[in-house]
Amino acid sequence: GQQLNQSPQSMFIQEGEDVSMNCTSSSIFNTWLWYKQDPGEGPVLLIALYKAGELTSNGRLTAQFGITRKDSFLNISASIPSDVGIYFCAGVNAGNNRKLIWGLGTSLAVNP
């Protein structure tokens, strides 16, 4: 199935460091969503973006909807051990039954 290009695939950082990950697509999306998934659990919505250029924060998390509508990034500032998990981007095209198109995920490990 269709998937987004998400990078990096994995990251191993020290507690307190900032993290940045991004997703790109060959298609235009109307909505970008960022999720975090812990092992054996369902994805949990972190941030939703609805307009090109939109910059939205949720605590230490900041995400932006790219101007071209084909990309998005997620930043995590001052990482803590509980940030460990897999982060997924997902795009939604209103003309595509609103199904989510997913990236392959970024696995984040934080060294205390």
Partner 1 sequence: ETGVTQSPTHLIKTRGQQVTLRCSSQSGHNTVSWYQQALGQGPQFIFQYYREEENGRGNFPPRFSGLQFPNYSSELNVNALELDDSALYLCASSHAKGPNTEAFFGQGTRLTVV
Residue 20 or 93 having the CB closest to partner 1? 93
Nearer CB in complex with partner 1: 8/16: 8
User: What is the smallest separation between the CB atom of 78 and partner 1, expressed in angstroms?
Assistant: 26
Residue 12's Cβ-count burial label (10 Å; 0-12, 13-18, 19+) is exposed
Binding site for partner 1 (CB under 8 A): 1, 3, 30-31, 33, 35, 40-45, 48, 50, 88, 92, 94, 96-105
Give the DSSP per-residue string, 20-32. Answer: EEEEE-SS--SEE
List CB contacts of 73: < 8 A, sequence separation 6 or more: 20, 21, 22, 23, 63, 64, 66
> Considering the complex, what minimum distance in angstroms separates the CB of residue 93 from partner 1?
9
Nearer to partner 1, 39 or 112 (CB): 39
* CA separation for the pair 52, 71 (Å, rounded): 9
We find the least distance from the C-beta atom of residue 104 to partner 1, in angstroms, to be 5
CB of 53 to partner 1, least distance (A): 18
Nearer to partner 1 (CB atom), residue 19 or residue 47: 47
67, β-bridge pairs: none
